[in-house]
Structure 1
């Protein structure tokens, strides 16, 4: 009987031992395809004594045709197995990229879905490996029915691998937005970390330059030193601390270091500005001390010529002005000490307090002089104030009647009230000691009320109402 030639070796088919190892792991596709072909030379070198009865018999006919079909099905299943394994490995890289960068619900769901697909892959892989293990297509006595069964099971395994591959492909297509976002963050990571390092270096150089000019900048140095642990974490990398956290840290470090650099470079200018303000505010305090001394003669004249209602609210001005000036001078001394100690924020805050004290003092001192000036004017000619107020009322009345036969009650009522209020203010001037200050405040209030009506009319007509 003629010896049957050996079946050609397929490099895609895993060995029995490799298939057994694949079953033991959670993912059957890992390392299963590390295949080693037995050299044909070894078979040719067998002793001649075994050539007579050890070679496979030739069955011919239908059995060999079924064997060939089964072998073709086995090769096709192995190719599908290899294609699925390659796709899974490639997709695992994408999933790991998303997992490292994105912790959103969508990303977590993608990771979970990939694990589910992985279980489907394991099931299909086990079906394929079981089919391969169940049928030895190299047996000499392989019957046609066994070969046919092997072909059927291997074809079924191949089809299942193909279906799972399609499922894996659909899953991969849906990862596009998440993967794009993750890759974008990864692309931003290295430049962001480098910007943080450069910002820290620039801040350090700016501090060195400031110190060389004689300024200590201790506060800025402390802020920069506080960033050292953050730089250590940046140097340790995203692998240890996570991509989103590292990216956020790099941006924050760059931002804070840049702020230190800007403040350090501005420090000499700030010191000069504080020196200038110290001199300017001291000069202003001295001038206010002189002006405060003039308030008492003004009050004396107000008391002599006008009723008590015209000056009672100004009685506290001299004492208050003196106290505020003394407080301002004390704060100025504290600001000088803070400046000499280079406590810039303290010096700036103290100078702001001094300025507020001097502003209030200036307003109070000016109010006394303004009161006397205005009372002198209205005492001399009250009609000027009356005419001014009446003109404002008439102008508002003309505007209210423009394009109308009758005024809108919303406008007419407050204008009528203003006319009555003005008449009452004029009447208050009668008598031996008229309250001119009350008269002035009333006419001012009337003009404000009229101005509100005018503004309302113009707003309504401007919007088409």
Structure 2
């Protein structure tokens, strides 16, 4: 018997069944019937509490599967409830004995125990779900009230700040989502939209709290970046002569990856100047947030430009250093290789790593050969030795990891 059928059947017999009004029942039947009715009412109360909590869980956390686990327990309650109704009918017609009533009472008590076991197994979750379901409408109202107050507080001298405008826009969007979820009675969406609205309120609050100091910060940042632009522009003046020196003094391949650095660095410096002008305009228009954002882009653009300049000037310096003392670099790599070979022997890993390390000796010799002849290729010498050094470092790291493993 399903829930609606069951409730209808019980409702039709309610007054006559609870108090055993059959005049022909003896005292034992009366007491048995009262006990059975009490067990039924106890089960009904427990079932309703559990059912309500399970429904809350299913609305808020359907993926948890509590409703599916509850179905067998609920069906058992419906079954024993139908048995109670049938026993009452039998008692009214004189077909039921005290033994029949006692048996139904025990079945009702057993079903109540199953409800308790189920509820106890999931108590924390069920109580949380029921409490949250009851609280969500209130939480939604409070969230919207806080949002309205936050938007009112944004009206003032900082209303034009980008961070404040973005905060108000985020609140408007979250408010619309909350209203839509409420209109559709989608409790999970109401919960999520209320949380999103609260987050937006907090973001706007942070923006308003920071607003009084934003203009000073933006002005100071613009002042410092002015000096930075001039410094990078001055450093860029060294790029052309340095590139020419590489071409003149070293193998042509030593600068292949640096072609175009001069043009690109100039373009980036000019771009930073455009962004700087936009930042000044934003500050003058009363939006220090936008001014700060543009100033940060100026700095990032200058970093890229400076990297292009440094790539050329650092390359020239490195090539000249190696040309002056080529043995210093190869000796350092040979030392690292010998140290790695010693580690392999001492760690008992020579069989696994020895051949790979030994092969680096030939790579080192090939790198040294790059310096032979009238036009030594110092850049190939450097890159090959750096590759050997990196390869050896990787093996050393793996050997140390193996040694540390019990």
Q: With structure 2 as the length reference, what TM-score do the two structures score?
A: 0.76
Q: Hey, what does 2:34 align to over in structure 1? A: 79
Q: Hey, what does 1:178 align to over in structure 2? A: 119
Q: Deviations over 1:313-359 (max 9, x none)?
A: 32311101011222333344455566647595x77775565444322
Mapped to 1, the partners of 2:79 and 2:311 lie a distance apart of 82
Q: 1:272 to 1:109 in 2, by over 3 A?
A: farther
Asked if 1:440 is matched to 2:382, the reply is yes
Provide the secondary structure at the position in 2 that maps to 1:26.
Answer: helix
Q: Hey, what does 1:461 align to over in structure 2? A: 403
Q: 1:391 to 1:256 in 2, by over 3 A?
A: same
Deviation for aligned residue 1:196: 5.8
Mapped to 2, the partners of 1:254 and 1:366 lie a distance apart of 48
Mapped to 1, the partners of 2:40 and 2:297 lie a distance apart of 75
Q: Hey, what does 1:224 align to over in structure 2? A: 171
Structure 2 counterparts to residues 275-286 of structure 1, below 5 A? 276-286=220-230
Structure 2 residue aligned with 1:119, among 82, 90, 94? 82
Conserved in 2, the CA contact under 8 Å of 1:206 and 1:264? Answer: no
Deviation for aligned residue 1:125: 1.5
Which stretches in structure 2 are left out of the alignment for 5+ residues?
A: 1-5, 59-66
Deviation for aligned residue 1:94: 2.3
| Greater mean alpha carbon deviation, residues 269-278 or residues 89-98 | 269-278
Q: 1:26 to 1:172 in 2, by over 3 A?
A: same
Deviation for aligned residue 1:446: 2.2
Mapped to 2, the partners of 1:348 and 1:31 lie a distance apart of 77
Mapped to 1, the partners of 2:97 and 2:224 lie a distance apart of 93
Q: Hey, what does 2:93 align to over in structure 1? A: 130
Which stretches in structure 1 are left out of the alignment for 5+ residues?
A: 1-22, 38-67, 132-152
Mapped to 1, the partners of 2:128 and 2:81 lie a distance apart of 26
Q: Deviations over 1:240-287 (max 9, x none)?
A: 958777666655554554444445434556666555544444543332
Q: Hey, what does 2:64 align to over in structure 1? A: none
Q: Hey, what does 1:169 align to over in structure 2? A: 109
Conserved in 2, the CA contact under 8 Å of 1:289 and 1:325? Answer: yes
Provide the secondary structure at the position in 2 that maps to 1:433.
Answer: coil
Corresponding residue pairs, total: 382
Structure 1 residue aligned with 2:45, among 86, 90, 95? 90
Provide the secondary structure at the position in 2 that maps to 1:431.
Answer: coil
Mapped to 2, the partners of 1:165 and 1:244 lie a distance apart of 40
Q: 1:244 to 1:198 in 2, by over 3 A?
A: closer
Q: Deviations over 1:170-193 (max 9, x none)?
A: 111112243734334334556666
Q: Larger Cα Rg: Structure 1 or Structure 2?
A: 1
RMSD (CA atoms) = 4.0
Deviation for aligned residue 1:304: 2.4
Deviation for aligned residue 1:162: 2.5
Q: Deviations over 1:40-63 (max 9, x none)?
A: xxxxxxxxxxxxxxxxxxxxxxxx
Structure 1 residue aligned with 2:369, among 410, 424, 427? 427
Deviation for aligned residue 1:454: 2.4
Provide the secondary structure at the position in 1 that maps to 2:93.
Answer: helix
